[in-house]
Amino acid sequence: MKAIPRNRALGELFAATLFWGFGYVATVWAIEIVTAVELTFLRFLVGGLFALFFVRSFRMDPERFFRLLRLSFWPGLFMAIFLTTQTVGLKYTTAVNSTFITSLYVVITPFFEWAFLKQRSHPIFLAYAALSLLGVGFIVQSSFEAQWSPLSWIGDGLTLVTAIFCAAHLIYVGQVWSKIQRPFLFNALQSFWAGLFLLPLLIGEIWMNGGSALSGLFATGSQVSFKAAFGFFSLVFGSTVLAFFLQIRAQSVLSPSLTSLVCLLESPLALIFALLLLSQPFGLWSFIGAVLIFASAVGATWSDSKIRASGE
């Protein structure tokens, strides 16, 4: 598959951040009817099977298919970890805290590139990463002052794990992109692996609940709200099937560091969605933090274009 134009890649990555930004609200709505483990398992199972069904009519030789299956193993594991810790963490912390702590992957990614790939990011990107980290600090501080509880440390700690594995996912996909060729199928296969990795957790939860599968859904009976159903399907088809496909395709022309900085837009978007739809606190410090992170993402995109134009 040919690499897409750079501006289109940026546009598609912005679209992905929109789905992911709303995903925090969708998760809060969806866990009204399913547990965190059930939700994460089902979004991968349903999303992966849907995507595989969609591509079943395309011809592909078995060797190429199994090569993609092998390549999708590690990103599937990373997805299973970071979305499970994020979903469970949302039970103990706010959507605002979750999105901005998750955004720390923008700081972690350049260090992973240096430590594991021996690649150094341009100093300007490190400066933007530092600016975004300052923005995260403002928003988390504001959220702590407005609504803090001892359990929030559990949620925030789990969300920090999310940030680490988000960075690992970006780095891996950036490294193997030239071998992927079929991003939609690759996303379907990494979703398949993620669901498979989560199966033991689901079985363990079923065993702890006395053998009742999907206890969260069964506990609510037929009283499923429109918001909960909409949140679930938004996570499956928007945040999982479409958004990760767009991210993978965008990385055909964007570096992991730039991708992580552009994906920071997920955080201000999630903050806006949480403010409008969840009525979660939003103070002056949160506003300043959101502006800093937005400026980092826009500035990184502009600087990347300038650097490439100058041939540095």
* Structural domain boundaries enclosing 105: 6-310
Residue 39: the pLDDT is 86
**One digit per residue, pLDDT tens: the chain, 312 residues?**
556 788 888 899 999 999 998 998 898 898 888 888 888 888 888 888 877 776 654 556 778 888 888 999 999 999 999 988 988 888 787 776 777 778 778 777 777 777 777 676 667 777 877 887 787 777 666 655 555 566 667 877 888 899 899 989 988 988 888 888 788 888 888 988 998 999 888 888 777 766 555 555 545 454 678 888 899 999 989 998 899 989 988 888 887 777 877 887 887 788 788 878 887 666 677 778 778 877 876 777 677 667 766 655
Nearest 5°: the CA angle 92, 86, 279 is 55
Tell me the CA end-to-end span of the chain in Å, nearest whole number: 28
Q: Is residue 173 part of a domain?
A: yes
* C-alpha–C-alpha distance, residues 25 and 261, integer Å: 22
Question: How many domains are there within the chain?
Answer: 1
Looking at the domain assignment, is residue 303 inside a domain?
Answer: yes
Q: For residue 296, what pLDDT is reported? A: 77
Domain assignment present for 74: yes
Per-position DSSP letters for 79-95, written without gaps between them? HHHHHHHHHHHTTTS-H
Spatial distance between the Cα atoms of 210 and 145, rounded to a whole number of angstroms: 40
In 3D space, the residue among 246, 263, 256, 260 whose CA is nearest the CA of residue 184 turns out to be 246
**In this structure, is residue 1 part of a structural domain?**
no
Quick one: pLDDT at residue 73? 95
Q: Are 274 and 24 in contact (CB under 8 A)?
A: yes
Give the chain's count of helices (H) and strands (E): 15, 0
List Cα–Cα distances, 93 to 145, 146, 151, 267, in angstroms.
13, 12, 7, 15
